[in-house]
């Protein structure tokens, strides 16, 4: 039996990226706390085939492998920078390529970053409905970070992640028990 995995996917389109660093911080925290393997990807990792793909089969081999890891993850951590009150278009397009039943019951921790507090509802008004469509188990607690959380790099945002030990424990239990709703 393989080690349960936590996979992060960030909707950033540039590097370096605060969002990717933040998602990876959350992924590594969960992985280390629960002895899981952890890996983080972003739009840049998926590559240029994403933009022209109409179906998952249109992705190149590398992008298909990343898509498969996102689907197979025991825990998924997603995050996007806030762009005009929502997630990035390529982030949405990536998830548009996934079969609507593929994430059913998968525990998902929602994260987002933005310039200020006024965008904090992206997790409730944009990300939660998206993963509700997939019937994923979007955890009740989401994490949002603003630019001021990154004045000293992503590590300054660590206290926000650490404030949810109950969430982190739930994630570990869910990861070790496969898919929650199946």
Q: Domains (ranges, CATH) in the chain?
A: 5-176 (3.40.50.360)
Residue 23: the pLDDT is: 94
Whether residue 180 has pLDDT greater than 90: no
Q: Residues 18, 154: contact at Cβ < 8 Å? A: yes
C-alpha span between 150 and 65 (Å, rounded): 31
Whether residue 17 has pLDDT greater than 70: yes
Average confidence (pLDDT) over 20-46: 93
Q: Residues 62, 53: contact at Cβ < 8 Å? A: no
- Give pLDDT tens digits for 59-113: 999 999 999 999 999 999 999 999 888 999 999 999 999 999 999 999 999 999 9
Residue 176: the pLDDT is: 45
Highest mean pLDDT among 24-33, 49-58, 160-169: 49-58
Q: Name which of 139, 140, 27, 17 is nearest 80 in CA terms.
A: 17
Omega before residue 16 within 30° of 0, cis: yes
Cα-Cα-Cα-Cα dihedral sign, residues 4, 58, 17, 128? negative
Q: Residue 57: phi, psi to the nearest 5? A: -65, -15
Q: Which pTM does this prediction carry?
A: 0.86
Q: Name which of 124, 110, 84 is nearest 22 in CA terms.
A: 110
């Amino acid at each position: 039996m393989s080690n349960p995995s936590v996979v992060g996917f960030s909707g950033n389109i540039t590097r370096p990226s605060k969002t990717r660093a933040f998602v990876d911080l959350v992924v590594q925290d969960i992985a280390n706390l629960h002895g899981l393997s952890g890996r983080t990807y972003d739009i840049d990792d998926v590559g240029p085939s994403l933009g022209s793909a109409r179906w998952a089969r249109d992705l190149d081999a590398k992008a298909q492998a990343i898509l498969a890891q996102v689907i197979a993850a025991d825990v998924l951590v997603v995050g996007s920078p806030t762009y005009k009150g929502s997630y990035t278009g390529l982030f949405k397009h990536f998830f548009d390529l996934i079969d609507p039943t593929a994430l059913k019951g998968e525990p998902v921790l929602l994260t987002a970053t933005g310039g200020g507090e006024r965008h904090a509802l992206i997790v409730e008004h944009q990300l939660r409905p998206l993963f509700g469509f997939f019937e994923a188990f979007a955890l009740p607690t989401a994490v949002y970070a603003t630019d001021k959380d990154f004045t000293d790099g992503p590590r300054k945002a660590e206290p926000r992640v650490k404030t949810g030990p109950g969430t982190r424990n739930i994630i570990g239990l869910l990861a070790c028990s496969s898919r929650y709703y199946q």
